[in-house]
Amino acid sequence: MFLKKLLVAGVIFCSFIMNGQDYFPANDGVKSKNENYTVFTNATIHTSPSQTIKNGTLVIQDGKITNVGKSVAIPKNSITIDLKGKHVYPSFIDMYTSFGIKKPERPSGGGRESQYDNTREGYYWNDHIRSETRGVDDFEYDSKSAKGFINAGFAVVATHQHDGIARGTGALIALNTDGNKAHRMLDNNLAQHFSFDKSRKSRQSYPTSKMGAMSLIRQLHHDLDWYEKGNVNTTDLSLEALTRNKSLPQIFEGDGVYDAMRIDRIGDQFGLNYIIVGSGDEYKRIEDVKALNRTFILPLDFPDAYDMENPYAASFVDLGDMRHWNQAPTNPKHFETNGIAFALTTFKLKSPKEFKTQLAKAIKHGLSKNKALAALTTVPAELLGKSNEIGSLKNGSWANFMITSGELFEEKTKLHEHWIQGRKTIINDMSINDIDGSYAVSIGGISYDLEIKNSTTKVKGTLKKGTEDVKSEMTYADGWVNMTFAEGDNKFVRIIGQVVNDRLAGKVVLSNGDEQSISVNRIKGSNGTEKDKKVDTPKAPVVLPMTYPNTAFGFKEQPKQQDLLIKNATVWTNEASGILTETDVLIKDGKISKIGKNLSGGRAKVIDGTGKHVTAGIIDEHSHIAAFSINEAGHNSTAEVQMSDVINPDDTDIYRNLAGGVTSIQLLHGSANPIGGQSAVMKLKWGASINEMLLKDKKFIKFALGENVKQSNWQSFSRFPQTRMGVEQVFVDYFSRAKEYEARKKSGQPYRMDEEMEAIVDILNEERYISCHSYVQSEINMLMKVAERFDFKINTFTHILEGYKVADKMAAHGVGGSTFSDWWAYKYEVNDAIPYNAAIMHNAGVVVAINSDDGEMSRRLNQEAAKIVKYGDISEEDAWKMVTLNPAKLLHMDDHTGSLKEGKDGDVVIWSDHPLSIKAKAEKTIIEGTVYFDIERDLQMRREVKAEKNQLTAMMLAVKKKGLKTQPAKKKEKQRLHCDTEQTIH
């Protein structure tokens, strides 16, 4: 057994000592040098994905390839290995691993208090920027992990410290089992790495969100520029490392397709050629990914099927997750067919052992073998700037290659030997002879029939005495067969024999200790191969079609803009003409073209509006749907962060909002700090890309007052401000500094580009508008006074629950109020919140909107408007404007939406009933002439969702039946985001 283990473990080619380090003194013997060649002949040599040499010869010496080709002169001092029938491939390269580098431990202690400042000296102000890290310093060769890579075909891996937002540089390691670090380190300052994840080494709070990480990286580059120009008197080792490593490949790890887009934005802003580490869901938005025109490193961690056997548990699995199981293996194929460059990695797999199966899955799902090989050899080599050393078989390259039994990526093909830097590791011994067949053995006068199967893989011997099975164990390695079987209780017979050609010769040790020599001939070859043939008729996998977005209720085809004529409806114009009965609305080219009686619309699609009400689309001034995160809580001002960095266009709440007649929202930052982040104003074009939804020219920013910014309701006592007094000072400080910043900028003197200050300067210049989360009258008044002192106007107070107490002052200042209809009591500062607030502010001349701050309520804003009729007796028309025209005004979009007026956008809702009625349902929600929600189509989609889930369930059950791995039924957690949401689940 020991011998077998030793052999399977491979390795060992003792006569061949690693050269190199010849300037080292030798005290253990004489200095010797091996300059012999090893020559591989008669092989099919795939020197690169595009070039194959049949009957080729490969010559290596001292770890490198010295010659490769069809007719190659074989040096005299050669050892020749005949590879007739075998294939030779360049070894794989994994350019994204943490091989041999342990993740740092989190510091213990620290308590629950947030830590706002950095902890290091001489480095960047943010602890998560660790660009000075050199992965090689933490590197220790891990032979166990190396074995996994080697067996999976990898000879060279790039590794680095996966910790922090800027992670420093890595190293390129050859997985040479014999050498030492000196041999293995091909490069010790390889590529520079980035991610969105904070360092485990520091508890520094900022950034708490992805948008904060985005902003931090942006500011880092501005600071780098400032530092490089010699404007800083102190030393910053992090920035110096960034300068030093500029010319290296820059690799940025993301988590999902939207991270890829974020990374691309940063790359574009600073002219950086990032290689993006993908996550496997890029296929969902492949056209957008293609447009990035970047190179990717793709993991292959395809999800396991869910265990659907228990229908109760299965009911918690969402269609989106089921589809991802079905479609994820097509991800590499989509990259290939869209011409997007990519390398493949074992990253995210539990072990490189899984790599072969997962890659096979990707190939089965359409990835070409050639492309797969390139993604593992030439592409990573080129990306790392190492094409001359690794990735192909050419003169001067490292002798890193695999010897296989057949074409690579064929299911039956075996990897025999893996040579790395000229050192051999045996994976599946190619010297093993096939001894499958039948043998007649006579032992102690008794005749047995021995049947041997699978001798070249996992041998199985079946011993029979006549028709009776004899339980036995068999091993076969290095040409030796060893067999043990029982002959009665505790009586064992052992056979040991060597196989030469078709003869098994050796001896038998009987249970009594007597020995007997044997020599038997193989009677016939095994017929075991026939069975294999039957199994393998590869079926094309069933992959379900994608939708836009690729979740339940996504569109099979993106809906198109249409000319629409709505006939004979009650039309709420929100204009001087008021509510018109029996009226037609014509939408052409995405705009409202005509409103009147008996219109004809040419080829416009006619919709019967009899008995229906037609209104402008609802606009939610305060929304937190369609976002990956809400608060950047790491600083008391985060004016630099941008909600547009964290839009989630796949959020089902978009669809649900449409079903409630909502066409536009302001995605606001939360209220964790007095100065929050920049809003994203968007139209809810379900299925479209982020760019198509976002209204880039609408520039808003969130400010906040009160309990949240004081951190009153959670354990935090260290961040300024802790009182409303302090809140004012934060504003005064920032506005004062912004003025000085702008003055310096205008003066022509050098200045440190500051993304935060840029946003505040925009506010002072009324180029960016404040929407301020507010509760009690004192603070509301305060902010207006601060603004007046700096000579600008607050645009909107949102929530504004005590607005009614200072409505006269608000009207005088010219600020709008966007409030809840009837929320109160949930915290101390809403004690005096009253549902009559909107009415009083409205009556005082303030532009009033009713907002949601809630993904459920946002889909019933028509009802919330109706509450303003109840509380405070506002006319129905005015109440309706509070969810349409007035928020449009507050968002400076009333010039093109918010009312039904010729020339405005065709953002229109058709209601089943009076829109303020509790019975009203949105039947069609139209944005710019495109029907994004249709209640009839919704019914059809429900049927499709059910059918598709059923189909996928059956497929998953089949997987389980086959005995393949499944994961327990799980339900993803959908976090409901509000102003107060500090942490988002990733």
Partner 1 sequence: MKIVRKNIALVIAVVLITSVSIAQQTPASKQIQTYSIVGATAHIGNGTVIENATIIFENGKITNVTSGNTATKGTVIQAQGKHVYPGFIATNTTLGLVEVGAVRPTRDNDEIGDMIPHVRSIIAYNAESKVVESMRPNGVLMAQIRPVGGRISGTSSIVQLDAWNWEDAAVKVDNGVYLNWPRSMTRGRWWLGEEPGFKPNKNYIKQTEEVKDFVQNAKAYTHGNASTNLPYEAMKGIFNGNQRLFIEAHDERQIRDVIRFKNEMGIQHVVLVGGYQADKVASELVSNAIPVILQRVQELPAMDDHDYDLPYKLPKLLVDEGVQVALGYDGEYWQVRNLPFYAGQVTQFGMSDADALTLITKNPAKILGIDSTAGTLEVGKDATLFISDGNALDMRGNILSKAFIQGRDISLESHQTKLWKRYSEKITGDKK
User: Where does 790-836 have alpha helices with state H?
Assistant: 807-813
How far is it, in rounded angstroms, from Cα 302 to Cα 278?
13
Q: Residue 869 is encoded by which pair of tokens? A: 């009729």
**Residue 684 interacts with partner 1 (CB under 8 A)?**
no
Q: Please, which residue, 905 or 923, has the CB nearer to partner 1?
A: 923
Residue 951 binds to partner 1 (criterion: CB under 8 A) = no
Q: How far apart are CA 860 and CA 921, in angstroms?
A: 9
Burial class (CB in 10 A: 0-12, 13-18, 19+), 559: buried
Residue (639 or 879) nearer to partner 1, CB: 879
Asked whether position 707 contacts partner 1 by CB under 8 A, the answer is yes
Q: How far is CA 174 from the centre of its chain?
A: 28
**Nearest distance in Å: CB 720, partner 1:** 21
Rounded Cα distance, 122 and 132, in Å: 11
- Contact flag: residue 826 with partner 1 (CB under 8 A): yes
CA separation for the pair 390, 680 (Å, rounded): 46
Nearer to partner 1 among residue 253 and residue 802 (C-beta): 802
Q: Tell me: does residue 870 bind partner 1 (CB under 8 A).
A: yes
User: Which one, 404 or 671, has the nearer CB to partner 1?
Assistant: 671
Measured from the CB atom, is 18 or 957 closer to partner 1? 957
113 forms part of the interface with partner 1 (CB under 8 A): no
Q: How far is CA 596 from CA 28, 522, 754, 903, in A?
A: 103, 97, 53, 14
Per the rule left: phi > 0, alpha: psi between -120 and 50, beta: everything else, 572 is: beta
Of the candidate residues 464, 921, 960, 978, the single one contacting partner 1 (CB under 8 A): 921
Q: How far is the CB of 329 from partner 1 (least distance, A)?
A: 22
- What's the rounded Cα separation, in Å, for the pair 437 and 441? 13
Residue 540, amino acid: A
Q: What pairs with residue 773 in β-bridges? A: 704, 798
The encoded tokens of residue 843 equal 């009556």
Q: Is residue 983 close enough to count as binding partner 1 by CB under 8 A?
A: yes
Q: Which of 360, 486, 945, 955 is in the footprint of partner 1 by CB under 8 A?
A: 945
Pick between residue 55 and residue 315 the one whose CB is nearest to partner 1.
315
Query: Cβ 167 to partner 1, closest distance in Å?
Result: 20
Question: Which residue(s) pair with 614 in the sheet?
Answer: 571, 910
Of 16, 270, 790, 824, which lies in the binding site for partner 1, with binding defined by CB under 8 A?
Answer: 824
CB of 810 to partner 1, least distance (A): 10
Among 172, 216, 319, 399, binds partner 1 (CB under 8 A): 319
620, 653, 742, 754: which one binds partner 1 (CB under 8 A) = 653
> In whole angstroms, how close is the CB of 862 to partner 1 at the nearest point?
10
Q: Determine the Cα–Cα distance for residues 110 and 200; give it in Å rounded to an integer.
A: 13
947 lies in the binding site for partner 1 (CB under 8 A):
no
Q: Which segment (95-103, 208-216, 372-380, 833-841) binds partner 1 by CB under 8 A?
A: 833-841
Q: Does 876 bind partner 1 (CB under 8 A)?
A: yes
The one segment of 124-132, 245-253, 347-355, 655-663 that binds partner 1 by CB under 8 A: 655-663
Q: Does 950 engage in binding with partner 1 (CB under 8 A)?
A: no
Q: What is the distance between the alpha carbons of residues 206 and 589, in angstroms, rounded to a whole number? A: 46
Measured distance CA(644)–CA(261) in Å, rounded: 11
Alpha-carbon 579 to chain mean position: 49
Number of chain positions touching partner 1 (CB under 8 A) = 71
Alpha-carbon distance values, 247 to 45, 192, 379 (Å): 34, 9, 19
User: Using the rule CB under 8 A, which residue among 341, 753, 869, 955 binds partner 1?
Assistant: 869
- Binding to partner 1 (CB under 8 A) within 499-518 occurs at none
Residue appearing with tokens 């199967």: 453
Name which of residues 533 to 592 contact partner 1 (CB under 8 A): 551-553
Q: Which residue from 316, 395, 527, 541 is in contact with partner 1, where contact means CB under 8 A? A: 316
329: three-class secondary structure by DSSP: helix
| Paired sense of beta strands 415-420 and 401-404, if any | antiparallel
| Residue 314 near residue 308 (C-beta atoms within 8 A) | yes
Question: Least Å distance between CB 627 and partner 1?
Answer: 15
- Type of residue at 504: L
Of 128, 324, 418, 867, the one binding partner 1 by CB under 8 A: 867
E strands of 807-885, at which residues?
816-819, 848-850
Instruction: Name which of residues 320 to 339 contact partner 1 (CB under 8 A).
Output: 320
Q: Would you list the DSSP string of 491-556?
A: -EEEEEEEEETTEEEEEEE-TTS-EEEEEEEEEE---HHHHHHHH--PPPP--PPP-BSSSTT-BS
Alpha helices in 119-166 (DSSP H): 143-151
CB of 869 to partner 1, least distance (A): 5
Pick between residue 655 and residue 731 the one whose CB is nearest to partner 1: 655
From residue 475, give the alpha-carbon distance in Å to each of 1, 5, 498, 506.
8, 11, 12, 14
Provide the edge-to-edge strand list for the sheet that holds 185-187.
92-97, 154-159, 171-174, 185-187
What mask of x and - would describe binding to partner 1 in positions 284 to 313, judged by CB under 8 A? Answer: ----------------------------xx
Residue whose CB is less far from partner 1, 670 or 872? 872
User: Contact, 888 vs 902, CB < 8 A?
Assistant: no
- To the nearest whole angstrom, how small is the minimum distance from the Cβ of residue 867 to partner 1? 5
Minimum CB distance to partner 1, residue 917 (Å): 6
Q: Which of 33, 70, 507, 971 is in the footprint of partner 1 by CB under 8 A?
A: 971
Q: How far is the CB of 171 from partner 1 (least distance, A)?
A: 28
Across 605-691, the runs of DSSP E, i.e. the strands, are: 605-608, 613-616, 618-623, 662-667, 675-678, 680-683
Tokens representing 975 are 């976090």
- Contact range with partner 1 by CB under 8 A, out of 87-95, 136-144, 316-324, 887-895: 316-324
| CA distances in angstroms from 929 to 80, 697, 905, listed in the order given | 74, 21, 8
Binding to partner 1 (CB under 8 A) within 788-817 occurs at: 804-805, 807-808
Work out whether 127 is an interface residue with partner 1 (CB under 8 A). no
Candidate residues 840, 890, 900, 927; the one interacting with partner 1 per rule CB under 8 A? 840
Cα(678)–Cα(638) distance, integer angstroms: 9
Rounded distance between C-alpha atoms, residue 587 and residue 167, angstroms: 53
**Nearest CB to partner 1, comparing residues 175 and 866:** 866
Q: How far is the CB of 555 from partner 1 (least distance, A)?
A: 15
Q: Which of 183, 193, 859, 889 binds partner 1 (CB under 8 A)?
A: 859
Is 652 a binder of partner 1 (CB under 8 A)?
yes
Does 142 bind partner 1 (CB under 8 A)? Our answer is: no
Binder among 560, 603, 919, 962 for partner 1 (CB under 8 A) = 919
Nearer to partner 1, 310 or 395 (CB): 310
User: Please, what is the minimum distance in Å from the beta carbon of residue 909 to partner 1?
Assistant: 15
Q: Shortest approach of partner 1 to residue 626 CB, angstroms? A: 13
Please give the single-letter amino acid code of residue 940. Q
Task: Give the nearer residue to partner 1 in terms of CB position, either 180 or 315.
Answer: 315
Q: Which of 569, 857, 900, 909 binds partner 1 (CB under 8 A)?
A: 857
Which of 162, 193, 588, 656 contacts partner 1 by CB under 8 A?
Answer: 656
Q: Please spell the DSSP secondary structure of 253-285, one letter per residue.
A: E-SSHHHHHHHHHHHHHHT--EEEE--S-GGGG
Whether 173 and 100 have beta carbons less than 8 Å apart is answered as yes
Is 872 a binding residue for partner 1 by CB under 8 A? The answer is: yes
Give the nearest distance from C-beta 616 to partner 1 in angstroms: 20
Instruction: Assess 683 for contact with partner 1 (CB under 8 A).
Output: no
The interface with partner 1 within residues 168-207 (CB under 8 A) comprises: none
